[in-house]
Chain A
Amino acid sequence: MKKTQRTAGTDASWKNPVPGQVRVYVWEWPVRFSHWVMVITIISLSITGYYMHAPYVVARGRTAYVMGTMRFIHLVSGFAFMAAILIRMYWFLFANRWSRWNQYIPTTRKRLANLVAVGKYYAFMAWSPVRYIGHNPMAGAAYAVVYAMALVEILTGLVLFSQIVGSRVLLFLVGWIPRFIDIQWIREIHFFIMFGFWMFFIHHIYTAILVSVEEENGLMDSIFSGYKFVPKAELLRDPAVEEMRPDGEAAPVTSDLEQEKHTVA
């Protein structure tokens, strides 16, 4: 494992890029905020949700309130999760080019081709990864699936919640769903997708480590600070921009406004 580049040079620190490198503000605050809310709530939702499926804690004492507490945490986490997803959904429309909706759903031929290239890398059919400042097409597509799962989870969760609160508004919105899918299957789907999140969780941590090792761009730090360190040439020919131009014309990829946000060494 090689050392990451930004620690090279004498005055380099995590805020100061080395010569030839640009400090790029990739993940804006709504992205990071919703990311961490999702991380925390998925963990607490899984722990409490699994308990609600198969109570694994032995309750002790006369005043025990284990299931009640688990349900409470589950509901609170559920609403926090929902809020995070909604914030992120909103931001899909207004984010910078690395976290816009088109980074998740490949819409151009070029991005699809790169999706295949990334797949080849994971299948050990290529020596080096395709370098991206934001998400590579494969990662983006994977997140799209995760957001789809999250939406199904929210919807099924609301159906189950509507059954216990009996709120007219909620029943109006989702009360018709159990007429078509029985409530037991709603539960099954809600439970099953939890494992989908677990699978993604393992994969996500693995790829995050892998890519930050392979690309040496401070990927791990970026989800805390928002900044990545990339070679200047990479920022000037960003695949995220190239892929969105079907004519393939090499266009300037940074606006003046954007330039101000990035620290160039």
Chain B
Amino acid sequence: MNALPEIELRSALEARGISRRQFVKFCSTMVATLALPPRYLHAVVKALDQTTRPVLVWLEFQDCAGNSESMLRSGYPSVGDFVLELLSWEYHELIMAGAGKRAEETLERVMRDHKGEYIAVIEGSIPMAEDGVHCTIGGKTALDIATRVCSNAAINIAVGACAWDGGIVRASPNPTGAVGLAEAVPGIKNLVNLGGCPHNPANTAAVLVHYLTFHDLPALDQYHRPLFAYGDIIHDQCERRAHYDAGRYVEEWGDEGHRKGWCLYKMGCKGPEATYNCPTVRWNEGTSWPVKAGHGCIACASPRFWDTKSPFYDRLPKVPGFGVDVLAEEIGWGGTAAVGIAMLAQVAGNIVRDKTRAKNVRAEENPPPDLNAGGSA
């Protein structure tokens, strides 16, 4: 039923100038990313060698194409190179040759010929306001396309924060009523969310490799995110952690501590509340990651992070209803001081009352305490 000529993976990789050695290295990286024991390497290599290159469609809705870019623009030979060869990419607006009607036909053909077999990758949020008119492709709304494509796919992978939970598009005030894939298409089956802004292509590749090897999804958490990537707190994997525990913090951008690589906690680093494997998988083929490069984590892989984790350069959220620049700390100190002052005023008042009581209260109204039982003021 596959209308495409079968291309053997090995020769396809060779045509790209990727050696066997690099391929095995890629497989072992994937095994490590998936947190599988090394003995699985053989299984992965074997499975990928024999892969029949399942069909993949990549849909883009309200997005910045950052997740596609993240997939495509990494080092050489990149994770993207392997994934491009492992799967048959039939539809991806950013990289496909066809356009317009031709492109739409391809998508229709995949849905027809590979029903229940293809892999759907979704990037970008789906607008729900005004019947979804804020994002239409070929006259169809994103919601229509997502509903049709995703309900016929073998697995659905939502890449990036927008596809997962709406991302920046959904950030308050969310004029287009954007939501993530799971909310837009309720009851969607075999869903993997790969939050992050952007997703880390190593994780996406690992999910695909896992699927190709075991024909199953990796273990997922309550948000349908794979545990191997979202199970650990950034802070617990951070190389600046020793400085955090010691109490050495960057106080200002470019200060001595910043040059020495101290902890970015005081600069608003959200590492302690973020989960992701960013510090171990890193970016650009494992070169670095933001905190290593000197900027605090903004928890890009956490739920609704644009709203919940801002301000990115302060420890805690701003208190609503107190203007833009008031911190919880200031309100707390203010309240405490107010109580202190009120108590001092009480002391003064009580001294006056004690001094004047005898004059104002007649003897029978101010009886000795033992007769004053029952309490009357």
Q: Please give the residue numbers on chain A whose beta carbons come within 8 Å of chain B beta carbons, in ascending order.
A: 1, 5, 20, 53-55, 57-59, 64-68, 70, 114, 117-118, 120-122, 124, 126-132, 163-164, 179, 182-185, 187-188, 191-192, 194-195, 198-199, 202-203, 206, 210, 214-216, 231-234, 236-239, 242
The reply to whether A124 and B349 form a contact with Cβ atoms under 8 Å apart is: yes
**Is B222 among interface residues, defined by CB-CB distance under 8 A?**
yes
The reply to whether B343 and A184 form a contact with Cβ atoms under 8 Å apart is: no
The reply to whether B246 and A68 form a contact with Cβ atoms under 8 Å apart is: yes
Question: In the complex, what residues of B have CB within 8 A of residue A54's CB?
Answer: 266, 315, 329
Interface residues of A, dominant DSSP = helix
What 1/0 flags go to B329-357 for Cβ under 8 Å of A? 10111011001100100110110011001
The reply to whether A67 and B245 form a contact with Cβ atoms under 8 Å apart is: yes
Number of A-B contacts (CB under 8 A): 145
Interface residues of B, dominant DSSP = helix
The reply to whether A67 and B369 form a contact with Cβ atoms under 8 Å apart is: no
CB distance from A173 to the nearest CB of B (A): 15
The reply to whether A127 and B360 form a contact with Cβ atoms under 8 Å apart is: yes
Question: In the complex, what residues of A have CB within 8 A of residue B336's CB?
Answer: 195, 198-199, 202
Question: In the complex, what residues of B have CB within 8 A of residue A68's CB?
Answer: 245-246
The reply to whether B350 and A210 form a contact with Cβ atoms under 8 Å apart is: yes
**Is B224 among interface residues, defined by CB-CB distance under 8 A?**
no
CB distance from B358 to the nearest CB of A (A): 10
Question: In the complex, what residues of A have CB within 8 A of residue B236's CB?
Answer: 164
Kindly specify which of B30-38, B106-114, B186-194, B303-311 makes contact with the partner chain: B303-311
Contact of A128 among B266, B357, B370 (CB under 8 A): B357
CA of A43 to CA of B372, assembled, Å = 38
CA of A192 to CA of B339, assembled, Å = 15
Given A164-B233, A184-B316, A191-B328, are A233 and B370 also a contact pair (CB < 8 Å)? yes
The reply to whether B375 and A192 form a contact with Cβ atoms under 8 Å apart is: no
CA of A11 to CA of B236, assembled, Å = 66
Contact of A53 among B273, B316, B365, B370 (CB under 8 A): B316
Interface size class of B (residues with CB under 8 A): 35 or more
The reply to whether B247 and A202 form a contact with Cβ atoms under 8 Å apart is: no
CA of A64 to CA of B346, assembled, Å = 45
Most buried by A among B340, B365, B366: B340
The reply to whether A64 and B247 form a contact with Cβ atoms under 8 Å apart is: yes
**Is B3 among interface residues, defined by CB-CB distance under 8 A?**
no
Contact of B369 among A182, A188, A203, A215 (CB under 8 A): A215
The reply to whether B308 and A182 form a contact with Cβ atoms under 8 Å apart is: yes
The reply to whether A185 and B377 form a contact with Cβ atoms under 8 Å apart is: no
Closest 5 pairs (CB-CB, A-B): A66-B247, A231-B370, A195-B332, A59-B247, A130-B375
The reply to whether B369 and A239 form a contact with Cβ atoms under 8 Å apart is: no
CA of A231 to CA of B373, assembled, Å = 9
CA of A233 to CA of B371, assembled, Å = 7
The reply to whether B373 and A236 form a contact with Cβ atoms under 8 Å apart is: yes
CA of A92 to CA of B371, assembled, Å = 30
CA of A5 to CA of B328, assembled, Å = 46
CA of A238 to CA of B222, assembled, Å = 56
What 1/0 flags go to B237-275 for Cβ under 8 Å of A? 000000011111100000000000000011000100100
